[in-house]
């Protein structure tokens, strides 16, 4: 069977295989496959070599290529030699490397009779992995096939229909002549019908159908030609029911000219007699005669109008009566309230509160005297309040009830001598009160000064103490030692970060690598993006970056691998979030 390489290469893609695919020996082609995707290819054919493609695409001239081949540096590939000589750029090398892989794959797909071999294995780390679109690469290689007989033998008859499976075809960039095919691949069109409708060459359309079948994206099966008219009738929706016919409209009768003239000749109402009839006054309404009852009804006696009302004629409502207001009786004369100085006033000595809004106004002479007396009282109260505010210390002695002292002993104080009232009215001083009634609080005790707190125990940051904390697995103590040590290190110095560890066992195993040494190791916390708090294992303090680079050579061999190689950081640039 022809096109064995094409079938085998497509099968490796469907099975997601990983390994090395080989076709031919001398010359031969080798394709590196990772999970079904083509990542790199090599070939010993002259036209597939990188040097030939560089000259063919005009990236370098033949003279530059000959000079580069004659002056190759040992240990470097031809591509790196051309980059160092300045003949090409890294972008040029990447583009030509992709073109080399595409040419090798197209050559392998078009090989008719050679049987390929496949060695399933994991690819080495030094294998170059190019970002290749494997389905697009296979589509381009399949559409360029020129073996018509082998293609028809593998594809089958052209009266097959194509049915898509999935939407993987939408991820590809199809050529212009095949771009309108996907909507037609519904199982109702044969390959020949698709060729006529899309105006695509039958061989090219067959290669596209073969690609879809080998990729597992479509099914091809043979069927007799369909009756297109019957298929359209079967797929067409049911017709909507017709609405019932409308009722017949009767034609409107249009009056003729003669009938209109005859209607206009008919006599109308005499408007003059009508206006006279409307102008006549209507007769007055008939008033029914009164009905007399056998016994007269007793009507209520009329209420006599009060004296003083002067009702005028044609007036509906009487005016407001003008009645004299009688004078209210004078209230009993109250004894004058003795004025007590503010210094001697206590809550018990104050007069009870009276509601002045209901008091009857006194006569003119007494009202003036009371008004002057009230103004005098208000002036005394205002002056006393102002004086007490300015001398708050004495106010505590005079008014102990206004300034209660919490938890203060009471000291008896004799009442002060009586003072004359400014109004000129002598008031005898109040009776002497017991000494225990007036009290002055002692000054509050001053709060004692707080004693200085004892200093926290100093954290030992020596190397033996740090190593002992790490051996015990006491990460809290190790972190405090590292933070204490970091405060004493200048920010311009350098250090080496050996690893970021989240478990104590990892840190203990890391310290155990330095057996027989006293490494300068300390921990600093670092916040991870998933919310955890891990630890940076730092090694050494170096004044310059060059000193940190020299110390790398003296680390154990497990730290010299590429993946585990420590990183250099300045103390001021140590990350706190990973």
Rg (CA), the chain: 59
Q: Alpha carbon of 271 to those of 263, 267, 276: distances in Å?
A: 19, 12, 9
The confidence score (pLDDT) of residue 31 equals 93
| pLDDT digit string, tens, across residues 301-310 | 555 555 444 5
The confidence score (pLDDT) of residue 454 equals 40
Can you tell me whether residue 270 is helix, strand or coil? coil
The confidence score (pLDDT) of residue 576 equals 84
Q: What integer best gives the mean pLDDT of the chain?
A: 75
Mean pLDDT for 247-270 is 69
Residue 394 — very low, low, confident or very high, per pLDDT cuts 50/70/90? Answer: low
CA distance 221 to 238: 30
Write down the domain spans for the chain: 4-132, 146-227, 463-573
170: phi then psi, degrees, rounded to nearest 5:
-70, -15
The confidence score (pLDDT) of residue 35 equals 92
CA distance 19 to 521: 44
Residue 407 — very low, low, confident or very high, per pLDDT cuts 50/70/90? Answer: very low
% residues pLDDT > 70 (the chain): 65
| pLDDT digit string, tens, across residues 507-561 | 888 778 887 788 888 888 998 887 788 888 888 899 998 888 888 888 887 777 6
Residue by residue, DSSP assigns 282-300 as PPPPPPPPPPPPSS---PP
| Cα 316–chain centre separation | 80
CA distance 528 to 552: 26
Q: Where are the alpha helices (DSSP H) in 126-256?
A: 134-143, 148-155, 191-198, 202-215, 228-235
Lowest mean pLDDT among 29-33, 251-255, 340-344, 565-569: 340-344
* pTM of this structure: 0.40
| pLDDT digit string, tens, across residues 120-149 | 999 888 888 888 899 999 988 888 888 888
Can you tell me whether residue 546 is helix, strand or coil? helix
Report which DSSP code applies to 58: T
What does the block give as tokens for 216? 């597992």
Q: How far apart are the first and last CA of the chain?
A: 58
What are the residues whose beta carbons fall under 8 Å from the beta carbon of 86, sequence distance 6 or more?
none
- Residue 410 pLDDT > 70, yes or no? no
Segment holding 344, helix H or strand E: none
| pLDDT digit string, tens, across residues 267-298 | 655 555 545 555 555 566 666 555 544 554 45
Residue 33 — very low, low, confident or very high, per pLDDT cuts 50/70/90? Answer: very high
The confidence score (pLDDT) of residue 311 equals 52
Can you tell me whether residue 195 is helix, strand or coil? helix
Can you tell me whether residue 495 is helix, strand or coil? strand
Mean pLDDT for 258-271 is 68
Report which DSSP code applies to 186: E
What does the block give as tokens for 87? 């003949």
What are the residues whose beta carbons fall under 8 Å from the beta carbon of 121, sequence distance 6 or more?
18, 19, 20
Mean pLDDT for 466-471 is 86
Look at residues 484, 488, 486 and name the one whose alpha carbon lies nearest to residue 459. Answer: 484
% residues pLDDT > 90 (the chain): 10
- Residue 413 pLDDT > 50, yes or no? no
The confidence score (pLDDT) of residue 330 equals 58
| pLDDT digit string, tens, across residues 313-371 | 555 555 555 555 555 555 555 555 555 454 444 444 445 545 444 444 555 566 788 88
Contact 458, 530 (CB under 8 A): no
Domain spanning 463-573 has what CATH number? 3.30.70
What does the block give as tokens for 495? 């250090």
* Region for residue 120 given its phi and psi (left: phi exceeds 0; alpha: psi -120 to 50; beta: otherwise): beta
- Residue 163 pLDDT > 90, yes or no? no
Residue with tokens 């170096």: 542
| pLDDT digit string, tens, across residues 85-123 | 889 999 998 999 999 999 999 988 888 878 899 999 998
CA distance 143 to 204: 6
Contact 540, 548 (CB under 8 A): yes
């Amino acid at each position: 069977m022809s096109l064995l390489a094409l079938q085998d290469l497509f099968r490796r893609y469907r099975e997601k295989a990983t390994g090395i695919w080989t076709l031919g020996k001398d010359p031969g082609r080798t394709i590196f496959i990772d999970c079904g995707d083509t990542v790199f290819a090599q070939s010993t054919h002259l036209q597939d070599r990188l040097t030939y493609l560089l000259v063919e695409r005009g990236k370098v001239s033949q003279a530059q290529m000959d000079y580069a081949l004659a002056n190759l540096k040992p240990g470097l590939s031809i591509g790196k030699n051309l980059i160092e000589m300045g003949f090409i750029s890294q972008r040029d090398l990447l583009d030509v490397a992709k073109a080399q892989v595409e040419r090798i794959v197209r050559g392998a797909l078009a090989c008719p009779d050679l049987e390929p071999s496949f060695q399933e294995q994991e690819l080495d780390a030094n294998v170059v992995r190019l970002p290749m679109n494997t389905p697009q690469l296979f589509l381009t290689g399949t559409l360029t096939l020129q073996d018509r007989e082998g293609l028809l033998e593998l594809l089958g008859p052209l009266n097959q229909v194509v049915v898509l499976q999935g939407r993987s075809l939408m991820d590809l960039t199809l050529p212009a002549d095949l771009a309108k095919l996907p909507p037609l691949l519904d199982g109702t069109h044969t390959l020949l019908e698709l060729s006529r409708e899309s105006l695509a060459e039958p061989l090219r359309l067959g290669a596209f159908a073969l690609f879809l079948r080998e990729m597992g994206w479509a099914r091809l099966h043979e069927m007799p030609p369909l009756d297109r008219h019957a298929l359209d009738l079967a797929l067409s929706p049911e017709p909507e029911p017709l609405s019932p016919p409308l009722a017949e409209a009767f034609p409107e009768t249009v009056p003729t000219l003669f009938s209109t003239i005859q209607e206009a000749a008919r006599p109308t109402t005499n408007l003059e007699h009508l206006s006279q009839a409307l102008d006549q006054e209507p007769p007055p309404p008939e008033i029914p005669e009164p009905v007399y009852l056998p016994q007269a009804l007793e009507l209520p006696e009329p209420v006599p109008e009060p004296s003083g009302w002067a009702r005028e004629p044609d007036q509906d409502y009487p005016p407001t009566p003008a009645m004299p207001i009688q004078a209210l009786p004078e209230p009993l004369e109250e004894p004058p309230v003795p004025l007590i100085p503010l210094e001697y006033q206590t809550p018990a000595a104050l007069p009870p509160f009276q509601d002045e809004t209901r008091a009857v106004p006194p006569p003119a002479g007494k009202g003036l005297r009371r008004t002057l007396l009230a103004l005098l009282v208000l002036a005394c109260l205002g002056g006393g309040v102002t004086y007490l505010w300015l001398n708050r210390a004495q106010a505590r002695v005079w008014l102990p009830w206004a300034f209660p002292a919490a938890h203060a002993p009471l000291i008896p104080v004799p009442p002060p001598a009586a003072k004359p009232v400014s109004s000129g009215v002598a008031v005898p001083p109040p009776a002497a009160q017991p000494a225990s009634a007036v009290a002055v609080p002692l000054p509050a005790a001053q709060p004692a000064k707080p004693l200085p707190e004892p200093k926290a125990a100093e954290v030992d940051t020596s190397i033996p103490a740090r190593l002992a904390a790490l051996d015990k697995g006491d990460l809290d103590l190790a972190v405090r030692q590292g933070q204490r040590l970091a405060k004493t290190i200048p920010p311009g110095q350098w250090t080496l970060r050996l690893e970021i560890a989240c478990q104590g066992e990892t840190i203990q195993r890391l310290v155990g690598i330095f057996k027989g040494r006293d490494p300068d190791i300390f921990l600093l916390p670092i916040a991870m993006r998933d919310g955890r708090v891990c630890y940076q294992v730092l090694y050494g303090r170096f004044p310059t970056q060059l000193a940190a680079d020299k110390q790398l050579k003296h680390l154990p061999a497990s730290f010299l691998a590429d993946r585990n190689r420590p990183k250099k950081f300045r103390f001021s640039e140590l990350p706190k979030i990973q």
